[in-house]
Amino acid sequence: MIYLDNAATSNQKPYSVKKAVWNALSHPVNVGRNSGRESFLYAEKILGVRESIAQLLHIEYSENIVFTSNASHGLNLAIKGFLKPNDHVILTLYEHNSVLRQLYQKEKNPICFLPCYPDHRVNFEQMEQLILPNTALLVVNAASNVTGATVDYKKIYQKANQLGLTVLFDFSQAIGNIDIDLSECKRCMAVFSGHKSLLGPQGTGVLYVSPDIALSPVLEGGTGSLSNELFQPDFLPDQLEIGTLNVPGILGLGKGVEFVKANKPEALLHHKLELIQYTYDALQNMKHIKVYHNGDFQNSVGILSFNVSNAHSELIARILSEKYHISTRGGYHCAPFAHRELGTENQGAVRVSPGYKTTKKEMTKLLDAIYKIQKNSEY
């Protein structure tokens, strides 16, 4: 099987990640709920991962790094914990359902979307015009999980800070590919998965809350701290990290982060983008293929979506898997508005996302398969 769905979860985890998970499972102890020496050793290791992630984001306070079970969990802690009834939210059409579904259920919160330019890039110039007296939050997906297009997150937070807006970034597809520097970002929250380009295990994610923001806890429970009190601690990370921590996952994630730092996100992305550009160029020459990429590889992560004529993307993805043993992702990628913006609301798209170890030979096999599918009308 050629695996080309690293945007969903990366499947080429470094050996150090697997070893850390194995070690944590071989000597399991609870952290913060056990008085033995091993528990303290593990607590120190977890603190090390927190500090390493703070360093990755260029932020000062590691206690503001909250471990979550995925990006969706972090987005729920951030949005539900931040918004008050009637707070207005500005967001982009490229948000994931882990943002959209919360806001569509919270009818008390009015929302509006930033428009897009004709080439489907988000028009952040319009931000100021959309601000209402009750606007409280701007939500921005920094790299689309459908088109791979990235946004200039620094420029956005500088502008949001000037306008007095709090900003929530979804860095799920950006982290591990581009350098994320939040050192200057005020009134800022950032969420990402640990299991995509950070190469950590599934079941890991992170929420960063800048020190000038106080979230209300969405979930309450044991934290291993202030155990004789009936109220949820009001300090981070304990306030938002309830119950037994995913120690194997967090320690595995720590090794993924170390791997990414040692190999440099830009270099890891460069390899993936070379493969994407090669695929993009070849697909341009195939008659029945439509590619959803604006060709701006400087501002992209390693994702390419396409369709074959009017065939449903799920069907093409199934043929790629069953006949050619190539694993991609068809459908709507939990991003219904992105697909409406691209005009693919009835077809979805086949998404291809190579990993840091994917080879050009594997992409050539993909291209051969697509060529045969579109030429022989196998759909």
Ligand X SMILES: Cc1ncc(COP(=O)(O)O)c(C=O)c1O
Contact residues for ligand X (CB under 6 A)?
Answer: 8, 70-72, 96, 98, 141, 145, 170, 172-173, 193, 205
Decide whether 193 or 374 has the Cβ nearer to ligand X: 193
> Nearest distance from residue 98's CB to ligand X, in Å?
5
| Closest-CA residue to 166 (of 204, 134, 139, 129) | 139
Residues 321-356 as b/e (b if ≥16 CB within 10 A, e otherwise) read: eeebebbbbbbbbbbbbbbebbebeebbbbbbbbbb
Rounded to 10 deg, the angle between the 313-322 and 360-375 helix axes is 120
Cα separation, 355 vs 9, in Å, equals: 10
Residue 351, strand partner residues: 305, 329
Decide whether 95 or 238 has the Cβ nearer to ligand X: 95
Q: Are 5 and 328 in contact (CB under 8 A)?
A: yes
Q: Are 77 and 117 in contact (CB under 8 A)?
A: no
For residue 156, what is the enclosing H or E element? helix 153-162
| DSSP designation for 173 | T
Integer Rg of the chain from CA: 21
Decide whether 102 or 193 has the Cβ nearer to ligand X: 193
Decide whether 178 or 289 has the Cβ nearer to ligand X: 178
Decide whether 224 or 248 has the Cβ nearer to ligand X: 248
> Nearest distance from residue 190's CB to ligand X, in Å?
12
> Nearest distance from residue 280's CB to ligand X, in Å?
20
Decide whether 197 or 307 has the Cβ nearer to ligand X: 197
> Nearest distance from residue 333's CB to ligand X, in Å?
7
How is 311-349 classified by DSSP, letter by letter? --HHHHHHHHHHTT-EE-B-S-TT-HHHHHHHT-TTT--
> Nearest distance from residue 364's CB to ligand X, in Å?
26
> Nearest distance from residue 203's CB to ligand X, in Å?
9
In a 3-state reduction of DSSP, which class is residue 350? Answer: strand
> Nearest distance from residue 78's CB to ligand X, in Å?
12
> Nearest distance from residue 219's CB to ligand X, in Å?
16
In a 3-state reduction of DSSP, which class is residue 217? Answer: coil
> Nearest distance from residue 2's CB to ligand X, in Å?
20
Cα separation, 224 vs 30, in Å, equals: 10
Decide whether 102 or 135 has the Cβ nearer to ligand X: 102
Decide whether 8 or 240 has the Cβ nearer to ligand X: 8
Q: Which residues contact 84 (CB under 8 A, 6 or more apart)?
A: 136
